[in-house]
Structure 1
Amino acid sequence: MVKLILKSVFVLAFGLLIVGFNSPSTSLNLFSIGRSKDANEIFYAINLDNPNKLNTENPINVYWLKRTENNKVEPLSWVQKKFAYGIVYLSKSENHAKFRFAAYDKRVFELKKNQDNEFKVFTISGNKEVEVNRIYIYITGGTFWIPEIPKVELFATVSGTDKKMKETIIP
């Protein structure tokens, strides 16, 4: 009985450690992508070698929070990384990374420190630099390989201000 309890405590503690590291409430998350298709979300989290330096091999970790499956956390599949929600790095260093999404090469994003010396993701919207908070994709049909996406909304904060903004992107 004691052995069973100790084993259960170990499994629970280890599970909480793993889930806690990947939890959407962690300060390591940079932004998320939500979709009209379901409640599941893709999270983009900073990957640091130490508190002030990005992991130069993979500065951003990407993972699913499957709300439809009891908040299960799991990595993207190979297909999702390669053709949809994955990141294509254009440049990367210990304090900076430029990238685009695998599915959309018309917009460049930049991971760098903001005015508060915290790593955040930025892009240009309406000739202004903005800090990305969230992206929402409207999916109205189509197929797995060719979904119908009439619009994408980018929710952000104008750099150096508290001004929130929303940009509607027609892909």
Structure 2
Amino acid sequence: MTKNIRTALVAGFALLTFCAHAQKITTDSLYKLPGNPYRVLPEHVSRLFYVQRTPNDNTIVYELKMGDNGLPDEDEPVHPYWIRYHDKGEKAELNFIQRKFAYGITSKPLGNGRFDIRFVSYKKFPLLLMKGTDGKYHIFATISQRQFIVNRIFVKIEGGSFWVPNVRYVEFKGTDPATGKEVTERFKP
């Protein structure tokens, strides 16, 4: 992953201010792994993947949004929002700055219920929303010439500034659709 990708993703993920309307959700089903301060979210039927980053465990969730026709919504197939653990686990919509410059996504219909999905903070990294062999919709990424289902992304930041953070690595965790095994891809600056 190039330095520009890392910088763009981290700069986007560093914007944690100005959250809009919040709605309370329960955190009973959320848990942490031993030795890992970041929560691993249990599977949810409409969640595609989530993003976590240092310095806290607030999480950006990306959910599938279906249209009335049984296919992903043409205008907004993926809906991002916060789980704000530092605000009692409240769910919060992304504000304008977060949607347009950091954590938001763009989508382009490709036909047959497939969409090209891109982070607004780095549009050169393509993701693909499509139905997998299991009959469910997933986000697919191709890294190191192999395609996998994206489950979570973690960005490790150590120092730097608000606009130019020092990214130690970006880690993608997912599933190999052919074998069902977990795949981890980590990129260092």
Identify the TM-score tier after normalising by the shorter chain: 0.7 to 0.9
Identify the residue that residue 172 of structure 2 maps to in structure 1.
154
Give the one of 62, 75, 78 matched to 2:93: 75
The total of aligned residue pairs comes to: 154
C-alpha change, 1:127 and 1:73, in structure 2 (3 Å) is same
Instruction: Measure how far apart 1:93 and its partner are.
Output: 4.8
Larger radius of gyration: 1
Alignment RMSD: 2.4
Question: Within the alignment, does 1:55 sit opposite 2:73 as a pair?
Answer: yes
Gaps of 5+ in 2: 1-21, 30-40
Separation in 2, partners of 1:79, 1:145: 13
Identify the residue that residue 38 of structure 1 maps to in structure 2.
56
Instruction: Measure how far apart 1:132 and its partner are.
Output: 0.3
Contact 2:77 2:107 in 1 (8 A): no
Give me the TM-score of the superposition, normalised by structure 1: 0.80
Instruction: Measure how far apart 1:47 and its partner are.
Output: 0.3
Gaps of 5+ in 1: 1-14
Contact 1:112 1:120 in 2 (8 A): yes
Percent identity of equivalent pairs? 28
Identify the residue that residue 152 of structure 2 maps to in structure 1.
134
Q: Which runs of 4+ in 1 moved over 3 A?
A: 23-26, 90-94
Question: Within the alignment, does 1:143 sit opposite 2:161 as a pair?
Answer: yes
Separation in 2, partners of 1:101, 1:66: 20
Separation in 2, partners of 1:160, 1:51: 29
SS in 1 for 2:152: strand
Moved more, 151-160 or 48-57: 48-57
Instruction: Measure how far apart 1:52 and its partner are.
Output: 3.0
Separation in 2, partners of 1:126, 1:159: 15
